[in-house]
Homo-oligomer: A and B are copies of this chain.
Amino acid sequence: MTDYRRLRVALLGAGSVGSQVASLLRQHGDELADRAGATLELVGIAVRDVDAPRDVDLPRELLTTDAETLIVGADIVIELMGGIEPAREYLLQAINSGADVVTANKALLATHGPEIFDAADQVGAQVYYEAAAAGAIPIIRPLRDSLAGDRVQRIMGIVNGTTNYILDRMDKEGAEFGDVLADAQALGYAEADPTADIEGYDAAQKAAILASLAFHTAVPLDAVHREGITRIDASMMDAARKAGYVIKLLAVCERMVADGDETISVRVYPALVSREHPLASVHGANNAVFVEAEAAGPLMFYGAGAGGVQTASAVLGDVVSAARRHIAGGVGVGESTRANLPIVPIGHVTTRYQITLEVNDQPGVLATIAGILSDGNVSIATVEQTVIGDDIEGAGTARLVIGTHKAREQDLSDTVDTLAQSGVVEKVASVLRVEGD
């Protein structure tokens, strides 16, 4: 075996990802050394409780509760603790003591990314975070490096496995949200407290990270418009299916011109996606990121978005990259946020919509509704009217499904309010955005 330089690797956290990273580092040590050009010596694993039960056997002598001492003298620090503090503090300590850092902490990067990247810039260190955006799917390097000479126009990502699992089963089985969620929790696809997933918080963090990279702009988490999937019910799924769509929770990052200026929009919400679109074929807990770039055209990256060993793959790729950079020398290349595009609020965004109304089935109703839409600057593309239930005498209730051309979100939202108060609409059954065509 070649006699390589030894690099000291400190691991913070031994949960489902961390324990796999530790295990793979030890199992494939020789192979990784050949690839990195350096021996990766795991010098310690910081945990909260050295006696806690773990999925993977880790050598007791590597475990410590003293993260700060472990970080001192490490060449590469892998942060897999999650949460904001003390992860932020430890990462900054690692950077300032000359280590390169690898993290899968999307919450931290989405909230304190600029602080961490600035700290790394100042000392010439590098921050690697391939695992933070879509688990095992390589998307950070493609956006940051491969597409660095192109202009990304739009990203549409299925970046949360739990919600895709739930929506996919609702689509296939015609089941209700609550039932599938309960089942997903029993099967381990959803957590006991599923809020971060089903309310879109997790997807919003990833959207902020992807948009920052794609548009070379610091995107703070609170600039991401976020809606969850809890309002999606079986009837909306059914209607979508009949219209040739599937409902997916999308992270959309889009370059757009607003009032003559180049801007971006970053938003997470459930949207109608044509069954012909590649994203419609992403089933189960899988993730996919669809990228449209000016020169490259459409690209898609598909794979497992979560899972301990899958995410560990992305972490270890970063560790090898960090080791290669240590051997090669030079400073980290830093993050490019120099474009610094303004981020528009959701009200300025234009998309297509599908509005489902229950209306009094009387003469003149359609004309009234069409008038309200027109007054609100919402242009109708398609209308489909069906009588609800057995009442075909004309005096009952009809369902109107209106597809719009691209409309401004604020106009659409105001118009839906006007419709709701118009007296002719009994109920606004659903309003969904249409993405991807």
- Interface of A with B (CB < 8 Å)? 2, 20, 24, 28, 31-32, 34-37, 124, 130, 136-138, 140-142, 145-151, 216, 278, 281, 293-304, 307, 309-310, 312-321, 324-325, 327-334, 336, 338-339
Q: Are B297 and A149 in contact (CB under 8 A)?
A: no
Residues on B with C-beta less than 8 A from A297 are: 136, 303-304, 307, 310
| A338 nearest CB across to chain B (Å) | 4
- Give A286's nearest chain B residue, CB to CB: B298
Within the assembled complex, what's the spacing in Å between the Cα atoms of A71 and B151? 28
Residues on B with C-beta less than 8 A from A151 are: 28, 31
Q: What 4 A-B pairs come out closest when comparing CB atoms?
A: A330-B330, A149-B316, A138-B146, A138-B142
Residues on B with C-beta less than 8 A from A35 are: 148-149, 216, 336, 338-339
Within the assembled complex, what's the spacing in Å between the Cα atoms of A338 and B320? 14
Within the assembled complex, what's the spacing in Å between the Cα atoms of A319 and B34? 27
- Give A146's nearest chain B residue, CB to CB: B138
Q: Are B300 and A149 in contact (CB under 8 A)?
A: no
Within the assembled complex, what's the spacing in Å between the Cα atoms of A294 and B32? 14
Residues on B with C-beta less than 8 A from A319 are: 149
Select which of B24, B281, B329 is within 8 A of A295 by beta carbon.
B24
Residues on B with C-beta less than 8 A from A324 are: 333
Within the assembled complex, what's the spacing in Å between the Cα atoms of A76 and B35? 26
- Give A314's nearest chain B residue, CB to CB: B146
Select which of B34, B141, B329 is within 8 A of A145 by beta carbon.
B141
Beyond A136-B296, A328-B332, 14 additional pairs, beta carbon < 8 A = A31-B339, A34-B339, A35-B149, A35-B339, A138-B147, A140-B146, A141-B142, A146-B314, A147-B317, A148-B321, A295-B312, A298-B304, A299-B301, A299-B304
Select which of B34, B36, B141, B333 is within 8 A of A325 by beta carbon.
B333
Within the assembled complex, what's the spacing in Å between the Cα atoms of A319 and B324? 20
Within the assembled complex, what's the spacing in Å between the Cα atoms of A45 and B310? 45
Residues on B with C-beta less than 8 A from A331 are: 328-330
Q: Are A37 and B316 in contact (CB under 8 A)?
A: no
- Give A315's nearest chain B residue, CB to CB: B149
Q: Are A303 and B300 in contact (CB under 8 A)?
A: yes
Residues on B with C-beta less than 8 A from A216 are: 34-35
Select which of B140, B320, B327, B336 is within 8 A of A148 by beta carbon.
B320
Residues on B with C-beta less than 8 A from A141 are: 138, 141-142, 145-146
Within the assembled complex, what's the spacing in Å between the Cα atoms of A320 and B216? 13
Residues on B with C-beta less than 8 A from A327 are: 333
| A200 nearest CB across to chain B (Å) | 25
Residues on B with C-beta less than 8 A from A140 are: 146
| A274 nearest CB across to chain B (Å) | 14
Select which of B20, B142, B318, B334 is within 8 A of A142 by beta carbon.
B142
Within the assembled complex, what's the spacing in Å between the Cα atoms of A334 and B325? 11
Q: Are A309 and B336 in contact (CB under 8 A)?
A: no
| A410 nearest CB across to chain B (Å) | 30
Residues on B with C-beta less than 8 A from A293 are: 136, 313
Q: List 8 A-B contacts (CB under 8 A).
A: A37-B333, A124-B328, A148-B317, A149-B312, A149-B320, A281-B281, A294-B313, A299-B304
Q: Are B299 and A150 in contact (CB under 8 A)?
A: no
Within the assembled complex, what's the spacing in Å between the Cα atoms of A326 and B36? 21
Residues on B with C-beta less than 8 A from A32 are: 149
A142-B142, A321-B145, A339-B34 as given contacts; A296 in contact with B303, CB under 8 Å? yes
Q: Are B146 and A317 in contact (CB under 8 A)?
A: yes
Q: Are A150 and B316 in contact (CB under 8 A)?
A: yes
A313-B147, A317-B148 as given contacts; A299 in contact with B295, CB under 8 Å? no
- Give A25's nearest chain B residue, CB to CB: B149
| A22 nearest CB across to chain B (Å) | 13
- Give A299's nearest chain B residue, CB to CB: B303
Residues on B with C-beta less than 8 A from A304 are: 296-299
